[in-house]
């Protein structure tokens, strides 16, 4: 027990803390879950899946644009060589 406490934590607090550590909740997940109103349904995993799909689509588009713009540019090796 910490020296600044006069009584130990209740066992449910200890078990709850151990469970949270075992689940490896991130700060963002914990903040998300704490912000859900009591009457609302917690859809964290569904929302994360949706966001992952969005970020993958964003990455695909970004890579496609990068590939297309690099393919349109002349290669630096051929442009740096001058005829003699």
Per residue in 13-66, pLDDT tens? 888 888 888 888 888 988 998 899 989 999 999 999 999 999 999 999 999 887
- pLDDT: is 79 or 8 the higher one? 8
What's the pLDDT at 1? 64
Is 57 domain-assigned?
yes
- pLDDT: is 67 or 22 the higher one? 22
Name the residue range of residue 21's domain: 11-69
Distance CA 57, CA 34 (A): 29
Show the DSSP H helices in 1-84 as ranges. Answer: 11-23, 27-35, 44-72, 76-80
- pLDDT: is 9 or 78 the higher one? 9
Is 3 domain-assigned?
no
Is 19 domain-assigned?
yes
Residue 5, φ and ψ in degrees, nearest 5? -105, 145
Is 79 domain-assigned?
no
CB contact at 8 A, 44 and 33? yes
Residue 77, pLDDT > 60, answer: no
Is 26 domain-assigned?
yes
Is 6 domain-assigned?
no
Is 76 domain-assigned?
no
In sequence order, the 6+-apart residues with CB closer than 8 A to the CB of 29 are: 44
Work out the number of other CB atoms within 10 angstroms of the CB of residue 9.
13
* The residue to which tokens 């607090």 are assigned: 13
- Assessment of whether the complete model's pTM goes beyond 0.75: no
Is 1 domain-assigned?
no
Report the domain count for the chain: 1
């Amino acid at each position: 027990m910490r020296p600044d406490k006069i009584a130990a934590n209740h066992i449910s607090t200890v078990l709850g803390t151990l469970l949270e550590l075992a689940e490896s909740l991130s700060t963002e997940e914990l903040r998300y879950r704490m912000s859900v109103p009591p009457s609302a349904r917690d859809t964290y995993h569904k929302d994360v899946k949706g966001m992952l799909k969005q970020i993958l689509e964003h990455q695909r588009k970004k890579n496609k644009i990068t590939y297309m713009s690099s393919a349109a540019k002349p290669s630096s090796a051929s442009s740096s060589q001058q005829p003699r």
